[in-house]
Structure 1
Amino acid sequence: MHLVLAILLLIIDQASKFWVQRTLPMNKPHAILPPLLYLTYVENPGAAFSLLPGWRWFFIVVALAFLILVRTHLVQMTRENPSSRWGLALALAGTAGNLIDRIRHGSVIDFLDVPFFTVFNIADCCIVIGFGLIIWNQFHSHP
């Protein structure tokens, strides 16, 4: 079930980026819920907050290694840590989505624009929520 969720979220992420690339002009905000949310198509060649833009291959290698480790760990995990399993599934989907962008486009497609923050995408949301669940589980799991 966890891998099904990861695949579904990956499809949603890639479909949203496909739509953004074909619909929105680059760097022009479109109000969705002003002043809280805009859609702004940008391409990010770096990591979060556009850090390290020249490190594309490093990010690709790290993402591939992470995907292999998470996939292996997710399959081997017991059912005792459901929030960690869901968290890993979300992190897997998000990492795969951004990895596909880096390989196909040389950068990550971002479009969710919250003023006074950075522009991000669905894959980024999956990664943050996924690691949030994993961290939450570490503090709330019972021995």
Structure 2
Amino acid sequence: MTDEPVAGRRSAGHVLLVLAVIAVLAVVVDQLVKEVSTNELVEGEPVKILGGLIYLSLLRNSGAAFSLGTGYTWVFPLVTVAVVAWIGVMARKLRSVPWAVALGLVLGGALGNLGDRLFRAPGFLQGHVVDMISLFGPYAKYFAVFNIADACLSVGVVLAVLLELTGRQRDGSRTPAKKKAP
């Protein structure tokens, strides 16, 4: 094995900076949008924008995506802590900027919703997540109501899956494509 640099591999400091900046931006934008939404939107009065492509429909969700697990609100912060720990372990060997972006989005999304679980009503570890974005119709008529953190999580997970499927490794290397048998 040689010490030659691998194409696509970056320094640990550079990659961790990308991960951190993406995560912080995701949390800040998520929390700002939630603050504006709770101050300016009224539950039961959706706001139609972009000709009805998007509706801003204020909801407070005690569950996960699609309101699943509404009776188990306390579990979600524990899952988030596990996700954050997993990303911390992954980050130690991370040398890929695309992976840093994916993991930064997942981390930022997880932390954005964790803030709601910890600090919003009805109380610590039971806080309801603020959701406000509804596509094509108000109040999840066609698709779940979500927030910026949810969007970051979803995009980050999809990007991670695509990186795995295309053979891009977290260390910046790339696995060669397997040849099909004749």
TM-score tier after normalising by the smaller chain length = over 0.9
CA distance in 1, matches of 2:19, 2:100: 7
Closer/same/farther in 2, CA of residues 78 and 52 from structure 1, 3 Å limit: closer
CA distance in 2, matches of 1:14, 1:29: 20
Partner of 1:77: 93
Task: Show the 5 A alignment for 1:8-47.
Answer: 8-47=25-64
Partner of 1:95: 110
The one-letter code of the counterpart of 1:22 is N
CA distance in 2, matches of 1:94, 1:27: 26
Secondary structure of residue in 1 paired with 2:71: coil
Q: Which structure: larger Rg?
A: 2
* Higher strand content, 1 or 2: 1
Secondary structure of residue in 1 paired with 2:44: coil
CA distance in 2, matches of 1:126, 1:132: 10
CA distance in 2, matches of 1:10, 1:84: 18
The one-letter code of the counterpart of 1:9 is A
CA distance in 2, matches of 1:78, 1:88: 10
CA distance in 2, matches of 1:78, 1:39: 37
The Cα of 1:121 is off from its aligned counterpart by: 0.4
Ranges of 4+ aligned residues in structure 1 off by more than 3 Å: none
Q: RMSD of the alignment, in Å?
A: 1.2
CA distance in 2, matches of 1:71, 1:110: 27
Task: Point out where structure 2 has 5 or more consecutive residues left out of the alignment.
Answer: 1-17, 121-126, 168-173, 176-182
**1:113 and 2:152 are equivalent in the alignment:** no
TM-score of the pair, normalised by structure 1? 0.93
Task: Point out where structure 1 has 5 or more consecutive residues left out of the alignment.
Answer: none
TM-score of the pair, normalised by structure 2? 0.74
Question: What is the aligned length?
Answer: 141
The one-letter code of the counterpart of 2:47 is H
